A and B are shown apart, each in its own frame.
Chain A
Amino acid sequence: MHPHVSIVNVGGIDLLDILKPSVQTFQDFIIMSGRAVRNIFRSPHYTDDILLQMDIIGVGSLPIVLFIGLFSGLVMGLQLSRTLATYGAQAQMGQLVSAVLVRELGPVLVSLLVAGRNASGIASIGSMKVTEQIDAMRALGTDPIQKLVTPRLIATAVTLPLLTILADFVGLLGGYLIAKYRFDLQFSLYWTSAWQVLEYNDVVQGLVKPFAFAIIIALVGCFYGMRTSGGTEGVGRSTTKAVVVSSIWIFVVTFFIGEIFVNLS
């Protein structure tokens, strides 16, 4: 009998064995995501759950999103004002704030906030898992992906772009307050330059990003929630993992989407 020969064996360590759990996890994620997306077009549709999640994710996040949006505009305006004053380019304030907020900062900041707030949703799915409520759901004829994951996916994908639009607008308002206070910039000058700098490409980019991030936040959160094991401690672990993984993917994906749109322009 021949001894087992591995394809990739370094110093007696089988690399395939090390990679196996990660590949398995990714495969499980893809399967769950596929089923969640497929369920959008299949009955039954849990409209009440979709509306409830929209309320939790959308309306629930609104105050903090507006607050963060306003202050990011204020801070950006404050920092830019010094640099712009150096070159005597104060009139460009609207353009800069608008371009940075709409293309990048708005989608990323709002998505990170929602990913953090989503922790409670992950914990709720996690505690359902450890108390056998998800098994009970399956036993009583309900597909947990249809009931728990798909409504969260739809709700996040709808509300996150809307929250981003509001955060962008409030951020621009913050930038204007600084422009008015520091340079006494005219209202029409600020808003016209802020509006005119935006091309079709920027607006699409600013909406595609939160849509993509919403899919990441909802699916990664639900995936780790549904895999929870190990009692209440496990719920905490899943929540942390989901928020960290979502945040990392948001930064990775924003780079690649940015790259695509930069090449398109």
Chain B
Amino acid sequence: MNGASVLRFENVCVKFGDAIALDGVSFEMQAGETRIVYGVAGSGKTTLLKVALGLVCPDSGRVFVFGEEVTHLDENGWFKIRAKMGILFQEGGLFDSMTIAENVAYPLVNRQTTQQRAAQNGHVEERVREALRFVELEGTLDKFPSELSGGMRRRVGIARAIVTEPPLLLYDSPTAGLDPITANTIVHLILKERDLRHATSITVTHRFQDGHLLANFRYNPSNGRIELVGHDPGDHVTTKFFVMHEGRLVFEGTQSELSASRDPYVHKFAR
């Protein structure tokens, strides 16, 4: 699947009243790539993800997902596209009234047709357990989100995002408001998911450490450890950085290009 266009923005603008959230944003992502989006609060990072997911409609410009133009797609059309996307919301976005198991099973149960549901009946529970095992929270199946800590809720959010094994994953500030140890655990999980399934992903963050980890480390499935990326061809990680400022995409490039940037705003994210 490498090389196929997964997400393309063409001069996308979004306004909320008089406030400009996205201002002429253009980029393209190929399958298997990892993008890290840096920017201060209010720079348009979350809006960018919401446009990609069809939760916010652009005022102008064009958006393509999996090669299909989605700019003016209605909600029903979006449901089919979103079935191929996983999202972790900043607040986790877990349903308070459902148990953790029901939350994680939701995309599996909700997106299936009746026939698929009948065929997969026994597999849903298995997939839910597998996804929760991945985030090391298998023991929380019958708990409610309110019984978990912020970091645990975020991990359940990751389990829900990956349970359908979508080809495109969007992480909205996965480490915001977490202590450094929990934040590292979350990034390790994102890394592990990326390197096990090679899914395309966008991670929005304002933490330099998150981008550093995703660009320079990889998950080694043979020993289950996170290791520094070496120089072997198999170690190649296709990570690019975006920096957003006041709704504009002010930087797009590799980590070395980010480090070499002389723009004072961009340079803030290079340390």
Contacts and interface: CB of A to CB of B under 8 A. Distances in A.
B53 interface: yes
Interface in B90-130: 90-96, 106-107, 110-111
Given A141-B82, A141-B110, A136 B94 contact: yes
Contact of A141 (B93, B95, B111): B111
Contacts of B50: 135
B107 A140 contact: yes
B85 A139 contact: yes
For the residues of B in contact with A, the DSSP-based class is mixed
Interface string A112-137: 00000000000000011001110111
B83 interface: yes
Contacts of B27: none
B110 A133 contact: no
B7 interface: no
Contacts of B107: 140-141
A127 B91 CA distance: 12
Contacts of A138: 54-55, 75, 78, 82
A237 B106 CA distance: 31
B55 A135 contact: yes
Given A135-B50, A136-B94, A142 B89 contact: no
Contacts of B94: 133, 136
B79 interface: yes
| Chain A residues touching B, range | 10 to 19
A132 B79 CA distance: 17
B87 interface: yes
A141 B79 CA distance: 5
Interface string A138-168: 1111110000000000000000000000000
Contact of B111 (A133, A137, A140): A140
A140 B89 contact: no
A141 B89 CA distance: 15
Interface in B247-268: none
A140 B91 contact: no
B172 to A, nearest CB: 9
Nearest to B106: A140
B18 to A, nearest CB: 11
Interface in B37-71: 50, 53-55
A136 B78 CA distance: 13
Contacts of A143: 75
Contacts of A133: 93-96
A135 B94 CA distance: 10
B110 A132 contact: no
Contacts of A142: 110
Contacts of A131: 91-93, 96
A135 B89 contact: yes
B111 A132 contact: no
Nearest to A140: B107
A56 B89 CA distance: 30
A205 to B, nearest CB: 38
A140 B93 CA distance: 11
A125 B50 CA distance: 20
Contacts of B53: 139
Contacts of B91: 131-132
A52 to B, nearest CB: 10
Contacts of A141: 79, 82-83, 107, 110-111
A140 B162 CA distance: 12
A141 B163 CA distance: 14
Contacts of A139: 53, 55, 82, 85, 87, 89, 93
Contacts of B95: 128, 133, 136-137
Contacts of B54: 138
Nearest to A142: B110
Interface in A164-196: none
26 contacts: A128-B96, A131-B93, A132-B91, A132-B92, A132-B93, A133-B93, A133-B95, A135-B50, A135-B55, A136-B87, A136-B89, A137-B95, A138-B54, A138-B55, A138-B75, A139-B53, A139-B55, A139-B82, A139-B87, A140-B82, A140-B160, A141-B79, A141-B83, A141-B107, A141-B110, A141-B111
Interface of A: 127-128, 131-133, 135-143
Interface of B: 50, 53-55, 75, 78-79, 82-83, 85, 87, 89-96, 106-107, 110-111, 160
- Which 5 pairs, one residue from A and one from B, show the smallest C-beta to C-beta distance? A136-B93, A132-B93, A132-B89, A141-B79, A132-B91
